Amino acid sequence: MTAYTFEHIHLRSPDPDATVVIVTHGLLLSKTLRTRLLLGRFDLCILDESHFFRGHAAKRSAFFYGRGRHGGPGVTGIADVCKRVWCLTGTPMPNDASDLWTMAHGLWPGAFPDGFGAFRAHYCETTWSPYGDHVKVVGNRNVAELREQLRGRVLRRRKADVLDLPPVRHETVNLRPTSMPHELALMQGELDDNLVAQLENADTADDAFALLGANKAFAAFRRLCGIAKAQAASELLAMELASGALAKVVVMAHHTAVVDAIATSLSAYGVRTITGATSAKGRTAAVDAFQTDPGVRVIVCNILAGGTGTTLTAASELVFVELSFVPGENVQAADRIRRIGQDSPCRVRFIALDGTLDEAIVGVLRRKVAMIREVLAK
């Protein structure tokens, strides 16, 4: 079997004998590539990490699923030239049930014919919001019906179904650093009362930053809060590592400054880090060292950079010092320690800064995770 990758599309013509074509997500935005792909007639298309194509108005979704395939003129999608399409993802609905719409409409248009708004209204509890399209999802509706609609169309395999993995427990730990920054109290007084509601309304991390990032007080608060939690978490972890209560630990954070602060504080324990600036080679070296070297007891990762595609089963403990605004990303990151090869019970801890807005933010994100699990529970 010959495999051809379109990463070299501008350098040579496609191999006529190729039986497998591999394309990265980003290259689907290339008009040249799409034109060549649409000339083909494929037996099967596998869209890996398909949750990145959940935006119903996004270009990449239209380029894949097509906009005109179900009536009226529009964009022809890659899915149109494939006999079968399989969408693979560990997080089909990173935020709420409305995330399922694009895939459902793209693959089974007859099942949900009335549009995104009707789908969301039927399967999501909503309320008015002053942000975005003025709709905020606060819960689920008609869950049993949605599960029935997905039956026969979605094949779900939980780790518990296919792998003999140890149990995992989740804990929220409220901490205060030995010296709470005075600026945090001052900033909390400047924050809008609606900030938690804005976070609940955000569909994606980008949306959250668009809503909240404009508030300079919140942006400064979130970063300073992360630094304060880094200090408190480092104090706790140093004590546990020194006493032998922890053999190894994975730490997840959002800000690079928080990653760096924790790595510096715990440097005596052989720290490795993974951030967006880490090269592929450096990422592999960091993971290998953590997995195999007993002297490397800590790895600190940015959630996006280290939360997918890594196996960190040398540890059975994972600590979130900061959380992503997208609950599905937190779920993926937590799974880094509970994979094939893990034979110890696992614990995932969420650090909340005691007495601050951070407690409410952690609560919102934990509630969103619970909503996702309700729909996908069976």
Per-residue pLDDT tens digits for 6-31: 544 443 455 666 778 888 887 778 88
Number of Cβ within 10 Å of residue 56's Cβ equals 20
Count of domains for the chain:
2
- Clarify whether residues 201 and 72 are in a common domain: no
End of a domain among 156, 181, 204? 156
- Clarify whether residues 235 and 284 are in a common domain: yes
Instruction: Give the whole-angstrom CA distance, residue 88 versus residue 26.
Output: 17
Instruction: Give the whole-angstrom CA distance, residue 42 versus residue 224.
Output: 51
**Cβ–Cβ under 8 Å, residues 34 and 51:** no
- Clarify whether residues 130 and 174 are in a common domain: no
Which DSSP string corresponds to 183-252? HHHHHHHHS-TTHHHHHHH-SSHHHHHHHHTT-HHHHHHHHHHHHHHHHHHHHHHHHHHHHTS-S-EEEE
- Clarify whether residues 180 and 123 are in a common domain: no
Instruction: Give the whole-angstrom CA distance, residue 319 versus residue 334.
Output: 9
What element of type H or E holds 3?
Answer: strand 3-5
Residue with tokens 């005109």: 68
- Clarify whether residues 144 and 168 are in a common domain: no
**What is the span of the domain harbouring residue 54?**
41-156
3-state class (DSSP) for residue 177: coil
Asked if the model's pLDDT at residue 325 lies above 70, the reply is: yes
pLDDT for the residue numbered 8: 46
**Cβ–Cβ under 8 Å, residues 348 and 321:** no
**Residue 279 contacts by C-beta under 8 Å, 6 or more apart in sequence?**
none
- Clarify whether residues 214 and 354 are in a common domain: yes
pLDDT-derived band at 373, boundaries 50, 70, 90: low
Summarised one tens digit per residue, pLDDT across range 99-132 is 898 888 888 877 787 888 899 999 999 888 777 7
Give, in order, the Cα–Cα distances in Å from 108 to each of 99, 111, 180, 189: 15, 6, 53, 49
Give, in order, the Cα–Cα distances in Å from 24 to each of 5, 29, 30, 103: 9, 10, 11, 19
- Clarify whether residues 146 and 172 are in a common domain: no
- Clarify whether residues 262 and 319 are in a common domain: yes
224 domain-assigned: yes
Instruction: Give the whole-angstrom CA distance, residue 252 versus residue 228.
Output: 15
- Clarify whether residues 223 and 276 are in a common domain: yes
Helix, strand, coil percentages (3-state) for the chain, rounded to 5, are 45, 15, 40
Report CA dihedral (226, 228, 231, 237) to the nearest 10 degrees. -60
pLDDT for the residue numbered 359: 82
Summarised one tens digit per residue, pLDDT across range 82-105 is 889 999 887 788 788 888 988 888
Instruction: Give the whole-angstrom CA distance, residue 23 versus residue 37.
Output: 10
pLDDT for the residue numbered 256: 94
pLDDT-derived band at 314, boundaries 50, 70, 90: very high
End of a domain among 112, 140, 156? 156
Give mean pLDDT, residues 256-270: 96
Instruction: Give the whole-angstrom CA distance, residue 212 versus residue 196.
Output: 10
- Clarify whether residues 109 and 179 are in a common domain: no
End of a domain among 119, 139, 156? 156
pLDDT for the residue numbered 156: 80
Give mean pLDDT, residues 37-41: 80
3-state class (DSSP) for residue 59: helix
Q: pTM above 0.75?
A: no
11 domain-assigned: no
Give whichever of 207-216, 249-258, 368-377 has the largest mean pLDDT. Answer: 249-258
Q: With both helix axes pointing from N to C terminus, report the angle between 216-243 and 182-190 in degrees, rounded to the nearest 10.
A: 140
28 domain-assigned: no
**Cβ–Cβ under 8 Å, residues 244 and 295:** no
